[in-house]
Amino acid sequence: MPTMSDVARAAGVSVMTVSNVLNGKPRVGAETRLRVLEVVDELGYEINLSARRLRSGRTGAIGLVVPRFDHPYFGDLAARLSSALASTGRHLAVEQSDASKEGELAALSLARLQTYDGVILSVVGLGYADIDRIRPSFPVVLLGEQHMPPRFDQIHIDNITGARLATEHLLDRGARRIVMVGGGDEGHASMVTLRTRGWELAQQERGVPVDDAAVLPLDRFEMSSARIAVRALLARDPSIDAFFAITDQVAMGVLAGIHDAGLRVPDDVQVVGFDNLALGEFTMPGLTTIDPSNAWIVENAVAALDRRIADRDSAPQHLVSPVHLVERGTSRASRAAPSP
Amino acid sequence: MPTMSDVARAAGVSVMTVSNVLNGKPRVGAETRLRVLEVVDELGYEINLSARRLRSGRTGAIGLVVPRFDHPYFGDLAARLSSALASTGRHLAVEQSDASKEGELAALSLARLQTYDGVILSVVGLGYADIDRIRPSFPVVLLGEQHMPPRFDQIHIDNITGARLATEHLLDRGARRIVMVGGGDEGHASMVTLRTRGWELAQQERGVPVDDAAVLPLDRFEMSSARIAVRALLARDPSIDAFFAITDQVAMGVLAGIHDAGLRVPDDVQVVGFDNLALGEFTMPGLTTIDPSNAWIVENAVAALDRRIADRDSAPQHLVSPVHLVERGTSRASRAAPSP
DNA sequence: TTGAAAGCGCTAACAC
DNA sequence: GTGTTAGCGCTTTCAA
3-state secondary structure A149-208: CCCCEEEEECHHHHHHHHHHHHHHCCCCCEEEECCCCCCCCCHHHHHHHHHHHHHHHCCC
Same-domain status, B210 and B119: no
Of A338, A316, A337, nearest in space to A329 by CA: A338
DSSP B322: -
From the list A60, A91, A111, which residue is nearest B46 (CB)? A111
Same-domain status, B249 and B168: yes
Total structural domains within chain B = 2
Same-domain status, B111 and B163: no
Same-domain status, B176 and B91: no
Q: Is the pLDDT of residue A100 over 80?
A: no
Interatomic separation, CA of residue A116 and C1' of nucleotide C10, rounded (Å): 18
Nearest residue: Cα versus C1' of C3? A14
Q: What is the pTM of this model?
A: 0.92
User: End of a domain among A106, A138, A170?
Assistant: A138
Give the torsion sign (CA, B297, B298, B300, B306): positive
Rounded to 5°, angle at Cα B5 from B4 and B11: 95
- Closest nucleotide over all strands to A8 (CA to C1'): C3
Same-domain status, A267 and A201: yes
Supply the pLDDT for residue A98.
77
First to last CA, chain A: 57
Other CB atoms within a 10 A radius of the CB of residue B70 amount to 21
The answer to the question of residue A271 being in a domain is yes
DSSP B337: P
Percentage of residues of chain A with pLDDT beyond 70:
96
Other CB atoms within a 10 A radius of the CB of residue A65 amount to 25
DSSP B208: P
Same-domain status, B173 and B88: no
User: End of a domain among A292, A308, A323?
Assistant: A292
- Closest nucleotide over all strands to B2 (CA to C1'): C9
Q: Which helix (H) or strand (E) holds B231?
A: helix B223-236
| Alpha-carbon gap, residue B326 to A252, rounded angstroms | 20
DSSP B227: H
The answer to the question of residue A306 being in a domain is no
Same-domain status, B193 and B228: yes
The answer to whether the CB of B295 falls within 8 A of the CB of B74 is no
Q: Which residue of B has its CA nearest to A257?
A: B282
DSSP B105: S
From the list A76, A82, A282, which residue is nearest B252 (CB)? A282
The mean pLDDT of chain A is 91
| Alpha-carbon gap, residue B80 to B128, rounded angstroms | 27
Asked if B255 reaches chain A (Cβ–Cβ under 8 Å), the answer is yes
Q: How confident is the model at residue A128 (pLDDT cuts 50, 70, 90)?
A: confident
Q: What is the pLDDT of residues B65-115, one digit of tens each?
A: 998 999 999 999 999 999 999 888 888 999 998 754 443 346 777 788 889
The answer to whether the CB of A283 falls within 8 A of the CB of A141 is no
Chain-centre distance for alpha carbon A121: 9
Probe site for chain A from B133, B276, B282 (most A CB atoms < 10 A): B282
Supply the pLDDT for residue A338.
43
Supply the pLDDT for residue B335.
54
The answer to whether the CB of A234 falls within 8 A of the CB of A251 is no
Same-domain status, B34 and B130: yes
Cβ contact, residue pair B70, A61, below 8 Å: no
The CA distance from B224 to the nearest CA of chain A, in Å, is: 8
Chain B, 302 to 321: residues with Cβ < 8 Å from chain A are none
Of B303, B295, B293, B275, nearest in space to B62 by CA: B303
Q: Which residues of B touch A282 (CB under 8 A)?
A: 223, 227, 252-253, 255-256
Q: Which residues of A touch B137 (CB under 8 A)?
A: 1
**Cα-only R_g, chain A:** 25
Asked if B157 reaches chain A (Cβ–Cβ under 8 Å), the answer is no
Q: What is the pLDDT of residues A221-265, one digit of tens each?
A: 999 999 999 999 999 999 999 999 999 999 999 999 999 999 999
Cβ contact, residue pair A70, B49, below 8 Å: no
What single-letter amino acid sits at B292?
Answer: P
Bigger pLDDT: A107 vs B224:
B224
| Alpha-carbon gap, residue B127 to A258, rounded angstroms | 46
The answer to the question of residue B146 being in a domain is no
Give the torsion sign (CA, A210, A211, A212, A216): negative
Q: DSSP string covering B280-307, please? A: GGSSSSPPBEEE--HHHHHHHHHHHHHH
B13 touches strand C (CB under 7 A): no
Cβ contact, residue pair A78, B96, below 8 Å: yes
**Cα-only R_g, chain B:** 25
Chain A, 58 to 77: residues with Cβ < 8 Å from chain B are 59-61, 63, 68-72, 75-76
Q: Which residues pair with B66 in a beta bridge?
A: B96
Q: Is the pLDDT of residue A106 over 50?
A: yes
Of B126, B129, B90, nearest in space to B107 by CA: B126
Supply the pLDDT for residue B105.
44
Supply the pLDDT for residue B338.
43
| Alpha-carbon gap, residue B340 to B323, rounded angstroms | 22
| Alpha-carbon gap, residue B330 to B311, rounded angstroms | 47
Same-domain status, A23 and A87: yes
The beta-carbon contacts of B274-277 under 8 Å, at least 24 apart in sequence, are B274/B162, B274/B163, B274/B166, B274/B195, B274/B244, B274/B245, B274/B246, B274/B247, B274/B248, B275/B73, B275/B247, B275/B248, B275/B249, B276/B248, B276/B326, B277/B72, B277/B73, B277/B76, B277/B248, B277/B249
User: End of a domain among A249, A275, A292?
Assistant: A292
CATH number for the domain including B44?
3.40.50.2300
The answer to the question of residue B298 being in a domain is no
Nearest residue: Cα versus C1' of D6? B55
SS (H, E, C) chain A: CCCHHHHHHHHCCCHHHHHHHHCCCCCCCHHHHHHHHHHHHHHCCCCCHHHHHHHHCCCCEEEEEECCCCCHHHHHHHHHHHHHHHCCCCEEEEEECCCCCCCCCCCCCHHHHCCCCEEEEECCCCCHHHHHCCCCCCCEEEECCCCCCCCCEEEEECHHHHHHHHHHHHHHCCCCCEEEECCCCCCCCCHHHHHHHHHHHHHHHCCCCCCHHHEECCCCCCHHHHHHHHHHHHHHCCCCCEEEECCHHHHHHHHHHHHHCCCCCCCCCEEECCCCCHHHHCCCCCCEEEECCHHHHHHHHHHHHHHHHHCCCCCCCEEEECCEEECCCCCCCCCCCCCC
- B112, exposed or middle or buried, with CB in 10 Å at 0-12, 13-18, 19+? buried
- Closest nucleotide over all strands to A111 (CA to C1'): C9
Ramachandran quadrant class, B12 (left: phi over 0; alpha: psi -120 to 50; beta: rest)? left
Chain-centre distance for alpha carbon B139: 18
Same-domain status, A179 and A130: no
Asked if A2 reaches chain B (Cβ–Cβ under 8 Å), the answer is no
The answer to whether the CB of A300 falls within 8 A of the CB of A319 is yes
The answer to the question of residue B213 being in a domain is yes
From the list B70, B89, B93, which residue is nearest A93 (CB)? B93
| Alpha-carbon gap, residue A256 to A230, rounded angstroms | 9
The region of weakest confidence among A86-90, B169-173, B225-229 is A86-90
Q: How confident is the model at residue B266 (pLDDT cuts 50, 70, 90)?
A: very high
3-state secondary structure of B311: coil
Bigger pLDDT: A221 vs A127:
A221
The CA distance from B132 to the nearest CA of chain A, in Å, is: 12
A54 touches strand C (CB under 7 A): yes
The answer to the question of residue B216 being in a domain is yes
The answer to whether the CB of A240 falls within 8 A of the CB of A233 is yes
Count of A-B CB contacts under 8 Å: 177
Q: Whole domain around residue B97: which residue ranges?
A: 4-138
Question: Is the preceding peptide bond at A266 cis, omega within 30 degrees of 0?
Answer: yes
Edge-first strand listing for the sheet containing A242-245: A215-216, A178-181, A242-245, A270-272
Question: Could you tell me whether strands A178-181 and A242-245 are parallel, antiparallel, or unpaired per DSSP bridges?
Answer: parallel
Q: Is the pLDDT of residue A105 over 60?
A: no
From the list A61, A89, A95, which residue is nearest B91 (CB)? A95
Chain-centre distance for alpha carbon A233: 30
The region of weakest confidence among A127-141, A163-177, B319-333 is A127-141
Q: What is the pLDDT of residues B131-173, one digit of tens each?
A: 888 887 889 999 999 889 999 999 999 999 999 999 999 999 9
The answer to the question of residue B154 being in a domain is no
What single-letter amino acid sits at B161?
Answer: T
Same-domain status, B120 and B175: no
Same-domain status, A124 and A203: no
Q: Is the pLDDT of residue A339 over 60?
A: no
The CA distance from B250 to the nearest CA of chain A, in Å, is: 11
Q: Which nucleotides of C are covered by protein (CB under 7 A)?
A: 1-5, 7-13
The answer to the question of residue A303 being in a domain is no
Interatomic separation, CA of residue A56 and C1' of nucleotide D12, rounded (Å): 8
